[in-house]
């Protein structure tokens, strides 16, 4: 019993030892298996942590960038991030939200007959009137107008001529892209590119404000644009002073045939009179509403006007006594023999200017010359203009400089210009861009208490018409033919000052820009009143909702 018992004990002990060994072995394998399963799990957690960290960094980077953007663009961009905005930005957000959204006119739906491209020629205001004409023509032909190209080749393009003395020829160098026979290197002249439409006018406003009348695009569709670039387009100058029937009968068939037509001259291509009333009103709408200057020009214009207003009423004098005007008109009154010779050489330097031999005295007596600064001073005094009034000179560089301006400055000491009112940095982007500088003068001229042009050029005429539209603001339209006769009589002692002054006042009593009808001269459009100087069809009623889209 005893042996058996010990044997059973031994067997029991062996069995227990075996079970313990198996248990240890199993736990070891399980631990290995468990550790092998833990490796990929820890790697997954590491990857997840890295993803979270990277995402957090990216999000914070975005927040920083958006915060910087919010400081630049204001609360409209970051409306959902109030913690990133300054107090000023929040105030601005309230102001912006109070401004009602501008309602665009509905698009006019019509069958497009083709595309009209135009290249405007001349100075700013000649091009301005031409753009109005081209919009009206495109509307009545049911075509798509491409944003007009501004002049880059004529004398009056941007930049304005750059005066620089030539060491070889001893004359004032005026280098223009068109006249390549002048060697720019030899003459040491400076050359710059001209202004585009969008540099002067608000192109987006121009397009959208007229969408209920005509479709306007910034450029041709790609397929047609490529054809134009390859020279596969028809280009022509339309006949001057034509009525709308000419464009229906002669121009429209060409557009339908070629799909794209390029008009390479636009000055005075639409008649002043005899046009449909709707067409005349559309010309006005483009001029007074759609052609808005860029925000930079508008803002600078407001600053100049504010500076002038701070010192009381002001008169704008469009003193057209610049070198180009005198050279091409042949008017040399008051110039020295050397200056007269310089002006003559300049006129002969331009082959496109047909009139070479000019009798200055005869032209002056016919009233075809701008008044000189000396004649202007006498005229303003005779009209009774207060000698303490501010006079803003809306012009380029006066030929003869301070010597020729001395008499005017003595009579009216408060002469100012944009260059004297503003700091040089304010005008740095406008320098050598005569059209942009002229746009500033245009804005100031519109707001002046009195506007006096000394020559009836394009700016004088267009500003005159715009001031009529603004409520027949006082514009003194000088009778130059009569004035030079009276001035000569006064200077020779035939008239006393009182007689001279009385004659000037009486002769100009009905030349103040008041309401009147245009003078119509059939078959002589150059001699009749210019449409844009007196667009009376648009001025008949103050209740006329001409500019319904503004």
Residue 341 is predicted with a pLDDT of 95
Residue 91 is predicted with a pLDDT of 44
| Residue 239 maps to a domain | no
**Phi, psi values for residue 170, rounded to 5°:** 70, 25
| Residue 357 maps to a domain | yes
**Are 361 and 491 within one domain?**
no
Among residues 98, 124, 150, which one ends one of the domains? 98
Closest C-alpha among 464, 475, 485 to residue 534: 464
Residue 278 is predicted with a pLDDT of 97
Sign of CA dihedral 488, 492, 495, 501: positive
Check residue 161 and report its DSSP letter.
P
**Are 446 and 488 within one domain?**
yes
* Measured distance CA(78)–CA(91) in Å, rounded: 14
Residue 195 is predicted with a pLDDT of 85
Among residues 98, 125, 143, which one ends one of the domains? 98
**Are 454 and 362 within one domain?**
no
Closest C-alpha among 149, 138, 140, 148 to residue 115: 138
**Are 484 and 354 within one domain?**
no
**Are 352 and 457 within one domain?**
no
| Residue 45 maps to a domain | yes
**Phi, psi values for residue 213, rounded to 5°:** -115, -45
**Are 358 and 378 within one domain?**
no
| Residue 263 maps to a domain | no
* Measured distance CA(123)–CA(150) in Å, rounded: 9
Is residue 220 within 8 A of residue 117, CB to CB? The reply is yes
* Measured distance CA(283)–CA(277) in Å, rounded: 10
The H or E element containing residue 314 is: strand 314-318
**Are 454 and 341 within one domain?**
no
* Measured distance CA(408)–CA(416) in Å, rounded: 12
> Domain total for the chain?
3
Only one residue has tokens 């009529």, namely 468
Residue 9 is predicted with a pLDDT of 42
Is residue 472 within 8 A of residue 515, CB to CB? The reply is yes
Q: What is the residue-level pLDDT of the chain in tens, covering all 550 positions? A: 444 444 444 444 444 544 444 444 444 544 544 455 454 555 666 666 677 667 666 666 655 455 444 433 333 322 333 333 344 334 434 444 454 567 889 999 999 999 999 999 999 999 999 999 999 999 999 999 999 999 876 554 544 444 443 333 333 333 333 333 232 222 333 334 578 999 999 999 999 999 999 999 999 999 999 989 888 889 999 999 999 999 999 999 999 999 999 999 999 999 999 999 999 999 999 999 999 999 999 999 999 999 999 999 999 999 999 999 999 999 999 999 999 999 999 999 988 788 899 999 999 999 999 999 999 999 999 999 999 999 999 998 999 999 999 999 999 999 999 999 999 898 888 877 888 999 999 999 999 999 999 999 999 999 999 999 999 999 999 999 999 999 999 999 999 999 999 999 999 999 999 999 999 999 999 899 999 999 999 996 544 444 444 4
**Are 491 and 345 within one domain?**
no
The H or E element containing residue 376 is: helix 373-382
Which structural domain range is residue 56 located in?
13-98
Residue 486 vs residues 99, 329, 361, 404: alpha-carbon distances, Å: 56, 22, 15, 21
**Are 363 and 402 within one domain?**
no
Could you tell me the CATH number of the domain that includes residue 299?
Answer: 3.40.50
| Residue 441 maps to a domain | yes
| Residue 203 maps to a domain | no
**Are 435 and 334 within one domain?**
no
**Are 329 and 382 within one domain?**
no
**Are 338 and 461 within one domain?**
no
Q: Count of residues for the chain?
A: 550
| Residue 411 maps to a domain | yes
Q: Where are the alpha helices (DSSP H) in 383-491?
A: 401-411, 418-421, 424-427, 434-447, 458-469, 480-491
Among residues 65, 98, 131, which one ends one of the domains? 98
| Residue 114 maps to a domain | no
């Amino acid at each position: 019993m005893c042996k058996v018992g010990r044997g059973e004990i031994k067997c029991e002990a062996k069995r227990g030892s075996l079970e313990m060994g198996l248990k240890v072995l199993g736990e070891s394998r399980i631990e290995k298996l468990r550790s092998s399963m833990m490796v990929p799990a820890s790697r997954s957690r590491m990857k997840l942590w890295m993803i979270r960290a990277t995402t957090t960094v990216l999000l914070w980077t975005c927040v920083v960038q958006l915060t910087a953007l919010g400081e630049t663009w204001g609360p409209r961009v970051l409306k959902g991030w109030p913690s990133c905005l300054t107090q000023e930005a929040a105030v601005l957000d309230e102001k912006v939200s109070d401004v009602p959204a501008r309602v665009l006119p509905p698009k006019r739906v019509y069958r497009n007959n083709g595309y009209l491209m135009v290249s405007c020629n001349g100075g700013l205001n000649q091009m301005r009137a031409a753009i109005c004409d081209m919009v009206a023509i495109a509307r009545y032909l049911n075509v798509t107008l491409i944003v007009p190209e501004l002049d880059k080749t004529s004398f009056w393009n941007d930049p304005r001529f750059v005066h620089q003395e030539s060491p070889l020829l001893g004359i004032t160098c005026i280098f223009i892209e068109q006249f390549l026979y002048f060697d720019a290197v030899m003459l040491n002249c400076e050359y710059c590119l001209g202004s585009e439409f969008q540099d002067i006018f608000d192109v987006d406003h121009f397009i959208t404000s007229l969408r209920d009348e005509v479709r306007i695009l910034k450029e041709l569709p790609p397929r047609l644009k490529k054809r134009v670039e390859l020279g596969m387009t028809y280009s022509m100058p339309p006949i001057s002073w034509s009525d709308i029937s000419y464009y229906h009968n002669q121009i429209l068939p060409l557009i339908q045939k070629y799909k794209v037509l390029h008009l390479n001259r636009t000055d005075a291509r639409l008649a002043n009179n005899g046009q449909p009333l709707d067409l005349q009103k559309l010309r006005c709408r483009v001029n007074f509403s759609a052609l808005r200057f860029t925000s930079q020009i508008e803002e600078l214009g407001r600053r100049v006007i504010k500076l002038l207003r701070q010192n009381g009423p002001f008169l704008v004098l469009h003193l057209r006594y610049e070198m180009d005007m005198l050279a091409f008109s042949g008017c040399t009154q008051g110039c020295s023999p050397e200056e007269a010779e310089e002006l003559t050489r300049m006129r002969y330097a331009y082959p496109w200017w047909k009139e070479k031999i000019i009798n200055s005295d005869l032209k002056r007596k016919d009233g075809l010359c701008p008044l000189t600064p000396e004649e202007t001073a006498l005229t303003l005094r005779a009209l009774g203009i207060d000698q303490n009034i501010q006079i803003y000179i809306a012009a380029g560089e006066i030929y003869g400089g301070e010597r020729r301006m001395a008499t005017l400055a003595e009579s009216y000491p408060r002469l100012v210009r944009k260059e004297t009112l503003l700091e040089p940095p304010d005008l740095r982007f406008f320098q050598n861009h005569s059209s942009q500088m002229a746009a500033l003068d245009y804005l100031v001229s519109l707001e002046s208490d009195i506007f006096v042009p000394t020559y009836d050029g394009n700016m004088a005429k267009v500003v005159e018409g715009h001031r009529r539209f603004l409520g027949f603001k006082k514009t003194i339209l000088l009778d130059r033919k009569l004035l030079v006769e009276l001035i000569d009589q006064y200077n020779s002692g035939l008239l006393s000052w009182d007689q001279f002054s009385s004659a000037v006042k009486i002769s100009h009593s009905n030349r103040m820009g008041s309401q009147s009808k245009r003078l119509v001269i059939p078959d002589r459009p150059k001699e009749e009143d210019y449409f844009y100087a007196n667009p009376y069809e648009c001025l008949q009623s103050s209740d006329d909702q001409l500019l319904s889209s503004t």
